[in-house]
Amino acid sequence: MTDSTPAVFLVDALPEGERAELEGTEARHAVTVRRARPGEVITLTDGEGHSADCVIEAVHPGKQPRLGLTVGKRRYEPEPALRVTIVQALAKGDRGELAVELATEAGADDIVPWRAARSVARWDEGARGAKALAKWRDTAKAAAKQARRARFPSVSEPATTAHIAERVAEADLALVLDAAGTPITSLDLPARGRILLIVGPEGGITREEHDALAEAGATSVRLGLTVLRTSTAATVALGALGALTARWQ
């Protein structure tokens, strides 16, 4: 796709006045990576629906780069009436991060890492697990900026199957992706509320996990005639939900 829209930069809060400065990591990225120039338009967002288009008035390089901005049009994107939470099983290598990246670009509202029984990757408690979770969160942030999202998805702490079953019981609709499930096109999908979409690991979901999720209220669904990888399944499902509901309208 042609890169014709302003680049997005994440801030803690939008500036209140007509003048502002972009500092810190985002300013460094703008100056050293994107080679920002005076006169260019960028978009600031807080990742919670608020955004503003800004014109770069001055570029200050150095050890602590910053941009002088004139704040223009402001916008607010409300929360979607129908939210989709992706429960993504931990995957080996960089496949988990790829799954997060693609799901974020496809519009996931929340992402829950799942310690599934057949997940090859294991996020131990402590520094290693925290590092892995930080990678998922950084990936989601970068993908949201690339997709020009005003609302960034949350990436929660990793969950066990028991915790996922609790989320299933709380959701308006919970779906487990399964090649032997009901076609997703045959479902009566809600117009509002929360959908929980569960993606298993490369080795598949165990019978015990299937039973626990089904007992909590989850429905097994399939997306088509082919088997998708754990890194791409959520993205395809989000596309189907976008077309089958009002999420894309």
**Which CATH number do you get for residue 30?**
2.40.240.20
> Are the beta carbons of 42 and 9 closer than 8 angstroms?
yes
Q: Is the pLDDT at 63 greater than 90, yes or no?
A: no
**In this structure, what CATH number is given to the domain that contains residue 167?**
3.40.1280.10
Give yes or no: residues 94 and 215 share one domain.
Answer: yes
Give yes or no: residues 55 and 147 share one domain.
Answer: no
- Residue range of the domain that includes 71: 7-76
Average pLDDT of the chain is 94
Of the candidates 96, 131, 93, 139, the residue with the CA atom closest to the CA atom of residue 115? 96
Give yes or no: residues 161 and 140 share one domain.
Answer: yes
Residue 1 lies in a domain: no
Give yes or no: residues 191 and 146 share one domain.
Answer: yes
Residues in the chain: 249
Total number of domains constituting the chain? 2
Strand 110-114 to strand 19-22: parallel, antiparallel, or no bridges (unpaired)? unpaired
Specify the higher pLDDT residue, 227 or 56: 56
pLDDT category at 4 given cuts 50, 70, 90 is low
Give yes or no: residues 52 and 95 share one domain.
Answer: no
Give yes or no: residues 61 and 88 share one domain.
Answer: no
Convert the pLDDT of each residue in 49-62 to its tens digit: 999 999 999 999 98
Convert the pLDDT of each residue in 117-128 to its tens digit: 999 888 887 888
Give yes or no: residues 71 and 86 share one domain.
Answer: no
Give yes or no: residues 14 and 111 share one domain.
Answer: no
Residue 92 lies in a domain: yes
Residue 249 lies in a domain: no
Residue 2 lies in a domain: no
pLDDT for residue 56 = 96
Convert the pLDDT of each residue in 146-198 to its tens digit: 999 999 999 999 999 999 999 999 999 999 999 889 999 999 999 999 999 99
Convert the pLDDT of each residue in 83-117 to its tens digit: 999 999 999 889 999 999 999 999 999 999 999 99
Give yes or no: residues 106 and 208 share one domain.
Answer: yes
Supply the pTM of this predicted model. 0.92
Give yes or no: residues 96 and 135 share one domain.
Answer: yes
Give yes or no: residues 139 and 157 share one domain.
Answer: yes
Strand 82-89 to strand 110-114: parallel, antiparallel, or no bridges (unpaired)? parallel
Domain boundary among 76, 111, 127: 76
Give yes or no: residues 51 and 154 share one domain.
Answer: no
Q: Is 219 helix (H, G, I), strand (E, B) or coil?
A: strand
